[in-house]
Amino acid sequence: MTYKFGTKTVHFQKKAEGRNVSKAQPIYQTSAFSFKDLDDMEDFYQGNKEYLYTRFSNPNTDDLGEGVAQLEGAPKGVATSSGMSAILAGVLAVVSHGDHIVASEDIYGGTYQLFANELKEFGIEVSFVSMNNSDEIENAIKVNTKLLYSESVTNPLLRVEDLPAIISLAKKHHLTTMIDNTFATPFLLKPYELGADLVIHSATKYIGGHSDVTAGVLVGREDLIAKAKTKVVNLGANLSPFEAWLACRGLKTLAVRMERQVKNAQALADFLRRNPLLEKVYYPEAVAENGNGAIVSVDLGEQFDIETFFKSLEWIKIVPTLAGVESTVTYPIRTSHRTVPEAIRSKLGITRGLVRISLGIEDAEDIIKAFEIAIEKAKL
């Protein structure tokens, strides 16, 4: 049978067998697995047994990687220690010393730092371009270009990537496409089904969903995931069993959480857009049938005092992350994009007045009231 998304989020794990079957998936909190003799252990290396050592693989980490892969419509997935390690594993599965990447200029600050600085140590060159300009993309492609990288919905300005267009362009030039789908989640968009080769999630965010786990997931083409998994093992970027178990528990409620959070985001965006004093409200339209995402960004502009705004938020928490069940805010120029050069931030529109809001599952009326009060108090 072909199951709908909400059913898949709950029933992505393998059906347990044996005499004593736990309803909830057990936590395989072990560093290694034992064997009855040397021949039994050799069976692992011959491909006849699944588990030897948790850095190599573990039932809980496999559940997470395969579960997200199923939701994305991809054949394989691998769980990693963070979203950044998932990105690195995916990159190193495609490129090596002497290769070149074309990446979107409006990406998460941590990814920008990885691409602009750390990959140089590997002898990998990166060019940053405006991904909504096909001429600029094609002009950046070189003979040694191997990878085209972007985000399905960008952080923090929420630009929705034209995925079919950039995937088509990548195929034209025989490039691998890697898409960070953290903000959209497979609830809204499935880049792999559109033709992307690799899809990344910071599972710390909506996959885990409760702000209590740090994890990453990379899904995609079977050959590339096999290479990426080797990188994860050899670089020690594996996820712990307990963290994987927590993320899997969160994944089971992804559909219901996103449904509520997306509705709350739409309600808040509609409210903010009615205030003529706000410089700009960033919230996309026509992202998917299920809605337009659970993040709203707002540029307060010159009419409001930013410090007073943050101090007046009452129960809305100020954090450097997003996607938990609680509504939160962050300040991109001091957190996610702090290390991005000011000239680039200015070009992109990441200003001193920009606030990124992550909507939780509270009642929309209470969320709106909290922001109404903070905006009123911050008015100059």
Which among 49, 55, 263, 317 is annotated as catalytic?
55
Cβ density class 30-59: b for 16+ within 10 Å, e for less: eeebeeeeeeeeeebeeeeeeebebbbbbb
The closest of 17, 43, 91, 67 to 239, measured between CA atoms, is 67
Peptide bond preceding 156 in cis form (omega within 30 of 0): yes
The pair of three-digit structure tokens given for residue 188, joined into one six-digit string: 């809204």
SS3 176: strand
Specify whether the CB–CB gap between 164 and 194 falls below 8 A. yes
Clarify whether 205 is annotated catalytic.
yes
Say how far apart CA 337 and CA 341 lie, in whole Å: 9
Which among 62, 180, 197, 299 is annotated as catalytic?
180
The closest of 162, 189, 163, 160 to 177, measured between CA atoms, is 163
Phi-psi region of 211 (alpha: psi -120 to 50; beta: other; left: phi over 0): left
Specify whether the CB–CB gap between 98 and 144 falls below 8 A. yes
| Maximum CA extent, the chain | 76
Beta-carbon count within 10 A of 24 CB: 10
| C-alpha Rg value of the chain to the nearest Å | 21
Clarify whether 8 is annotated catalytic.
no
Which among 108, 112, 149, 282 is annotated as catalytic?
108
Which among 205, 257, 345, 356 is annotated as catalytic?
205
Clarify whether 180 is annotated catalytic.
yes
DSSP characters over 277-344: TSSEEE--SSSBTTBS-SEEEEE-GGGB-HHHHHHT-TTSEE-S---SSS-EEE-GGGTTTTTS-HHH
Clarify whether 192 is annotated catalytic.
no
Known catalytic residues are 55, 108, 180, 205
